[in-house]
Chain A
Amino acid sequence: MTSSEHQSPFVIQTKDLVKSFQMGDTTVTALKGISFSLAHGEYLSIMGTSGSGKSTLLNILGCLDTPTSGEYRLDGQNVSKMNDTQLSAVRRQKFGFIFQSFNLIAQLSVLENIEVPLFYQGCPEHENRQRSLKLAKMVGLGHRINHRPTELSGGQRQRVAIARALANQPSLIFADEPTGNLDSTTGEEIMTILDDLAQQGRSIILVTHEDSIAKHAQRVIHLLDGNIYTDKTQQVQIK
């Protein structure tokens, strides 16, 4: 299912990614030429203060936005020139998103939320249900599948979001401040799940401004004013 055709050793290759916005009369350049690569199974955290461009970078990497210039290759495929429908397909097939504010659909139950990505892939209802149920059990919510997100705690909601992000068996998981809305204990629990996923060989890009969270990744990229400031590989303490 996932890109087993590894023509390229890298999931992501970017070259001189530039993103500028028109703000009234002035042009704001949020990204000033980002070039980096992400290997398969790599666990990367992107750090930076607000305004450093990390959210913009995440949006472009997550195919939610397109760069103004530069090249972005995903599994060897140039996605920087793709149209909206093609980008939707990329998100649908290759990405899993975990957001700070969980972003669950309030009208849907836990199970139905997990079913959404596979639904858009056109997966048959029965199969979708089976797979989603398995994921719900995996994140420890097998007993709450018929609850609405509002009836869950923050940690539980983020678990649902993780289950949902895994539903389409993505080649890359984006986690945007996944612990930002959680207390430290719950945050650690969520990070443990992410660490487990990384250990299973999934590529993860984690965006955070907290050092303690960034520590979980093997590699940390620091952004400053739209440029890569540092790109370090670090020793991760495994419990």
Chain B
Amino acid sequence: MYNYFFKLKRVVKLGIRSLIEHKLRSLLTALGIIFGVSSVIAMLAIGEGASYEARQQIKSMGSHNIIVKSRKPGQSMSSSQETQRLSSYGITYEDVIRIHTLFPDIQIRIPARKIQADIRRGSIRLPGSIIGTIPWFLKQSPLRIKTGRFINDNDMDSVSNAAVLSEQTAKALFPLDYPIGQNIYLGSQIYEIVGIVSDQKAKTQAKQGTSKKDIFEVYISITAAKKRFGEIIVKRDTGSFSMEKVELHQLTLTADTEDNVLPISTAVRSVLKYFHKENDFEIVIPLELLKQAEKTKRIFSIVLGSIAAISLLVGGIGIMNIMLASVTERTREIGIRRALGATRGDITIQFLTEALLLSIAGGILGVALGVTVPIIISHFTKLTTIIQLNSLILAFSFSVFTGIVFGIYPATRAAALSPIEALRYE
């Protein structure tokens, strides 16, 4: 065992010397491996960086989320309705209710519909934010009922004029008396106060002194907000203008588990399809995008892997070429060593070691170059590059593997030479 190790050490030393003896030749041979390894590492780093960015973007949308977006129906449809001045499309509050009935447990978030309007009670006039909301908004928000009740389903269905005040609004409007049951004006309409809510978050912020100046908030049912305040977007193009009415631009549904994301989205899609004759909505599923990104990445990796295999193959052929030349050149040396008692195995190991050293040296330089290139690229282009340890190990071990594969043939050729033939070789 000791002898074996000693022999190997000596053979490695010898190999290094013989490579150093032919510096230029060794370098040129190793160049194939160097470029192969470094390009694999660099490409993988760039690919990984790009896919990381994509995944981050998708993840920021939430992997449990299903995003339902309003979309203007196809151009062909709208052209037939061009004469219509007001086009209405997109998801509606009714859709929200339908989804909520279907899946009472999933979170549905609607971007807050805020309408700026004055709040009046007698002589008190406050600049207010009127927020159209839904009954279960309460559960998902930091709001807590202080007195009375929140907007309920009844308010939604009957488009009632029930209003819920925030604590500050209540204090500002009713400094002295009990607000529940009283009437206030929101814009030009009369609303009846049914409850008061306190904002837990705002309270803690107020304690910390980070609260913004007083916000006077009033919550009404979203159906009432839709009916009384509406949402009409007026677009002015050159010469003409069109009006579009979109009740909701976007809904975000949050499933409890990732596994439920796809079934829920399928159900939601079929429900919406049933009620929407025009294709005026789209469903974006970040999880699906994520899966797609993973798939793209896999394909990318396969492509890169093929490039790697090809470039390392070319590098390996270079090694084989030079090793074959070396065997021919050193036939005499092989003969001498055989005469002095070297076995075929000894000769095989000597030449295989040289091929291996070439590929290891090429691999190390390739890794060094492969690590440098992405750093330079990301420095100058602001592209994210991620060098993974795996890719270094993969590229390096592949280059060593190439060295073995392409070193074996020349080494066995060297060993197969008969001692006398080799000794006679001029």
Contacts and interface: CB of A to CB of B under 8 A. Distances in A.
Whether A and B are associated in the same complex: the answer reads yes
Interface of A: 59, 62, 64-65, 84-85, 88-89, 91-93, 95, 97, 99, 103-107, 116-117, 119-122, 124-125, 164, 168
A104 B423 CA distance: 11
A122 B6 contact: yes
Given A105-B336, A107-B18, A120-B346, A92 B341 contact: yes
Nearest to A62: B339
Contact of B420 (A59, A106, A168): A59
A221 B4 CA distance: 42
Nearest to B337: A116
Contact of A121 (B10, B341, B418): B341
Given A91-B339, A122-B7, A103 B344 contact: no
Contacts of B6: 122, 124-125
A168 B342 CA distance: 13
Most chain B CB within a 10 A radius of its CB, from A99, A105, A119, A168: A119
14 contacts: A64-B423, A65-B419, A65-B420, A84-B343, A91-B338, A92-B341, A92-B342, A105-B333, A117-B341, A120-B341, A120-B343, A120-B346, A122-B7, A124-B2
Contact of A64 (B17, B21, B339, B343): B339
Ranked 9 nearest A-B pairs via Cβ? A92-B341, A122-B3, A88-B343, A120-B341, A64-B419, A91-B341, A117-B340, A103-B336, A64-B420
Contacts of A62: 339
B332 interface: yes
Interface string B394-426: 000000000000000000000000111001000
A107 B21 contact: yes
Nearest to B333: A105
Contacts of A59: 420
Contacts of A65: 418-420
B342 A88 contact: yes
Contacts of B340: 91-92, 97, 116-117, 120, 164
A122 B17 CA distance: 20
Interface string B14-50: 0001100100000000000000000000000000000
Which label, helix, strand, loop or mixed, suits the secondary structure of the B interface?
helix
A116 B10 CA distance: 11
Nearest to A86: B343
Interface string B343-370: 1111000000000000000000000000
Contact of B7 (A84, A93, A104, A119): A119
B3 A103 contact: no
A119 B344 contact: no
Given A59-B420, A64-B420, A122-B3, A88 B10 contact: no
A117 B339 CA distance: 9
B17 A107 contact: yes
Contacts of B346: 88, 120
Contacts of B343: 84-85, 88-89, 120
B119 to A, nearest CB: 96
A103 B341 contact: no
A93 B21 CA distance: 31
B358 to A, nearest CB: 16
Given A64-B419, A107-B21, A88 B7 contact: no
Nearest to B347: A88
A119 B4 CA distance: 11
A93 B336 CA distance: 15
A122 B6 CA distance: 8
Contacts of A91: 338-341
B344 A120 contact: no
Contacts of A119: 7, 10
B2 to A, nearest CB: 8
Contacts of B338: 64, 88, 91
A97 B339 contact: yes
Most chain A CB within a 10 A radius of its CB, from B21, B343, B345: B343
Contacts of A124: 2, 6
A85 B419 contact: no
Given A105-B333, A105-B336, A122-B6, A168 B341 contact: yes
Contacts of A121: 341
B189 to A, nearest CB: 101
Contact of B341 (A89, A104, A106, A125): A89
B132 to A, nearest CB: 89
Contacts of B3: 122
Contacts of B345: 85
B318 to A, nearest CB: 22
B50 to A, nearest CB: 49
Given A59-B420, A84-B344, A103 B339 contact: yes
A79 to B, nearest CB: 14
A125 B10 contact: yes
Contacts of B10: 119, 125
B18 A93 contact: no
A92 to B, nearest CB: 3
B420 A88 contact: no
A130 B337 CA distance: 21
A195 to B, nearest CB: 23
A59 B339 CA distance: 10
A107 B21 CA distance: 8
A99 B10 CA distance: 25
Interface in B255-299: none
A91 B10 CA distance: 21
